[in-house]
Amino acid sequence: MVIFSVSFYIVTALIMVFVNKWVLNNVSLPFTLLWFQVIVAVILLHFSSIFNILQLPTIEKEKCAGLLPLIVINVLGLSFNTVCLQYVDASFYQVARALVLPFTVMFSFVFLNQKSSYKILLACLVVCIGFFVGVSSERLTISVVGIIFGICSSISTALHAIVIKKSLDVVKGNTMDLVYYNNFMSAIAFLPLIFLFGEHNQLSELFIQDTTSKQYSMQAKTFLVGILVTGLFGFLINIAGFLQIKVTSPVTHMISSAFRGVVQTILGYLLFDDLLTTGRVGGIFLILLGSCFYTWIKDQESKQVQKIDKKIYDKLERGDSLDEGDRIDVIEDNEK
C-alpha cells in the first residue's frame, strides 16, 4: 500500500504539471483551462455520489459565506501556479515556487502564533539560498514575470494551508465536503476571470472561427485532450495526496515529493528541451535539501513531544506528582 500510494502520488503530480505545460505551450488560456479542470472535478464528484462511493453535501449559504476566504485563496493560488508554469520551464517550476516553506513558517508565526526552532529557521534559510541560487544564475534567460507569479504562488499556497485549518471548522471537519465546496465555488469564481481577460474570445476563435485551419484544429484537439486529462488527474491528485499522508509518514511524503522534483527536472529536459544549467541544478538540490531537513526536524520534534506526553501521562496514571522538570517539559510542549 505504501509503494502504491507513493507511486500514485508521484505519477499524478507529474502528469498534471507536464500536461498543463503542454497545453499552455499551444493555447494561452490559463483561466479557461482551470475552469474546465474544476468543472471536471465537480462532475466526477457527482458520479462518485451516484455510485455511493461518497456522499455530497447540500449547498448552504452560511457555509458558502464561511468558506469565501478559502475560495479566494484557492482561485488566486491556482491562477498564480498556472500562469507561472506558462512563463517558466517545467524543470524550473520547482525553483520558481520554492518559497512556500519559508512563507508557511512565517505566516504560521504571524497568524497562528506558532514559534519555530532554530533548526526549522535554518532549513528555511537553505531553501531561500536555493531559490536565489537558481534565479540569479539565469537572470539573463529567465522570465521575470514567471518568477513574480512563482513568488505570488508561494504566498498563496502558504496562506492556503493556514486557511484550510479554519475552513474545516465550517464544514465540521468533513474533508470531502470541503473538497466539494472548494471545487464548486471555484468553478463559479473562475467564470468572471475568463471574461475579464478576454479568454472567451480566444475560445470562440479556437472552436468556431477558422475551423478549416490545420493549426487551429490541432490547438483545439490539444486543449480538449488537456482539459480531460488534467481534470481527471486533478481529481485523482486530491485522493493521492490524502492517501499518501494517511498510509505513510511525513518524512516519506516529503522524500517522495523531492524525488518527484528530480524526475520533473529530468523530464522537463527530455520532453521540452529545458536548459539544465549548474545554477538551476544547484538551486533545486538546495531547495530539496532544505525541505527534507525541515520535514525530518518536524518529525523528530513531534516524536519528542509524544515521548514527553507519554512520560507525564504514565506518572499521572500511577498517581505520582510532577516535578519541576516535567512542568518545564509541559510548557515547552505547549509552545511547540
The pTM for the full model equals 0.83
Pick from 264, 261, 324, 323: nearest CA to 98: 261
Q: Please report, in tens digits, the pLDDT of each residue of the chain (336 residues total).
A: 778 888 888 888 899 999 999 999 988 899 999 999 999 989 998 998 998 888 889 999 999 999 999 999 999 999 999 999 999 988 889 889 999 889 989 998 998 888 888 999 999 999 999 999 988 876 666 788 999 999 999 999 889 878 887 888 899 888 788 889 999 999 999 999 999 999 988 888 887 755 556 666 788 888 989 988 988 888 888 777 666 666 766 666 666 777 788 888 888 888 888 878 888 889 999 998 998 899 889 888 877 777 766 666 555 555 555 555 555 454 555 555
CA distance 312 to 323: 10
Report domain extents, the chain: 1-294
Catalogue the long-range contacts made by 196-204 (C-beta closer than 8 Å, 24 or more residues apart): 197/31, 199/29, 199/31, 199/32, 200/32, 202/27, 202/28, 202/29, 202/32, 203/29, 203/32
